[in-house]
Amino acid sequence: MSWMTDSDRGVAGLLGAGALLLIAMLACLGWALVVGPSDAEVRQAAQADYCDAVQQWQEMAARGVPAAQRFGHPDYDHRADECTSYTSASGEQLAQQ
The predicted structure's pLDDT at residue 90: 47
The predicted structure's pLDDT at residue 81: 85
DSSP string, 47-74: HHHHHHHHHHHHHHHHTT--GGG-SS--
CA distance 39 to 24: 25
What is the percent of the chain where pLDDT is above 70?
69
Mean local confidence (pLDDT), 63-92? 80
Is the separation of the CB atoms in 58 and 27 below 8 Å?
no
Q: 86 pLDDT exceeds 70?
A: no
